[in-house]
Amino acid sequence: MQQIARWIEQILPFSLLLLVVFIRQHFQGFLVTIWIAVVMFKSNDILRKQTALKGERKISVLVGITLVFVIHVFGVYWWYRNDDILYPLVMLPPKEIPPFWHAIFIIMVNDTMVRQAAMVVKCVLLMYYKNSRGRNYRKQGQMLTVVEYLLLLYRALLPTPVWYRFFLNKEYGSLFSSLTTGLYLTFKLTSVVEKVQSFFAALKALSRKEVHYGSYATTEQVVAAGDLCAICQEKMHAPILLRCKHIFCEDCVSEWFERERTCPLCRALVKPADLRSFGDGSTSLFFQLF
């Protein structure tokens, strides 16, 4: 153990020196990647807060947020307009074989920017459903979920042209390059099929008219329950009767089931373990590198 510790102690200064040189060589790439990632994380937080405001959202604020998002996306792509960064957006491989770190950079920029662009679509949906309640509020959550699953499918495809060009390198020999390319496309197909299935499941949920965790309560059932929602402590609007027989406003219980699967009162399991919902306006923050 002492020998290992001494060996690490000896190579650590040289490793740090190499790291500094590496960062200097790719300094602009590091800055751009950090910048767009920070903007994307902040944008996700802003969008979730706007979604939570429901009817209190202001159209002027949403328009301003949308314009900032659009300018940011166009600004980044205008800056790199002469690079190969745009080709993968339409599923075309780069003209030249990208070095490994440049391939990573292209993928990270595109992966972040398409999420930023999808946030523009989500802002438009929030403007459209600004005063929605009951069924329309549930429809808003379903639409946001469909947009996110379509985005996840597109993001799964985005790295494919870059890695296809990277692996199909004749310098390694035709057999080796063909083998690695074929293996990559095989692995990729598995993940893409999963994303396609999730997207169609989200579409199916959107077309479903009934509430899949209960049914609309009758007037007699609402009166018997006291006509007071236990979540918002107000008179019920579009009341939903859960399978456990408790009744809540559709808005309140829909928002509850964005996070939970059990009844707010008795904790009985009500919502089936199906697709993850993105009805709160959130975006998946994990990078799709491969």
pLDDT in tens, 72-116: 999 999 998 877 899 999 999 998 899 999 999 999 999 999 999
* pLDDT-based confidence at residue 252 (cuts at 50, 70, 90): confident
Given 141, 171, 205, the domain boundary residue is 205
The three-state (H, E, C) secondary structure of 157-186, written as one string: HCHHHHHHHHHCCHHHCHHHHHHHHHHHHH
Those residues with Cβ within 8 angstroms of residue 93's Cβ, 6 or more apart along the chain or in another chain: 87, 161, 162, 164, 165
Domain count across the chain: 2
Query: Both 76 and 6 in a single domain?
Result: yes
Residue-wise pLDDT for 160-209, tens only, equals 999 999 998 888 888 888 899 999 999 999 889 999 999 998 888 777 66
Residues 230 and 107 in one domain: no
In-domain check, residue 281 = no
In a domain, 118, yes or no: yes
Q: Which residues pair with 215 in a beta bridge?
A: 241
In this structure, is residue 82 part of a structural domain? yes
- Exposed (0-12), middle (13-18) or buried (19+): which is 234, by Cβ within 10 Å? exposed
In a domain, 236, yes or no: yes
User: Based on the domain organization, do 170 and 57 belong to the same domain?
Assistant: yes
230 and 165 in one domain?
Answer: no
pLDDT value of position 201: 86
One domain for residues 104 and 219: no
Domain region containing 232: 214-256
* Shared domain check, 114 and 175: yes
Residues 31 and 109 occupy one common structural domain? yes
198/77 same-domain check: yes
| In a shared domain, residues 39 and 126 | yes
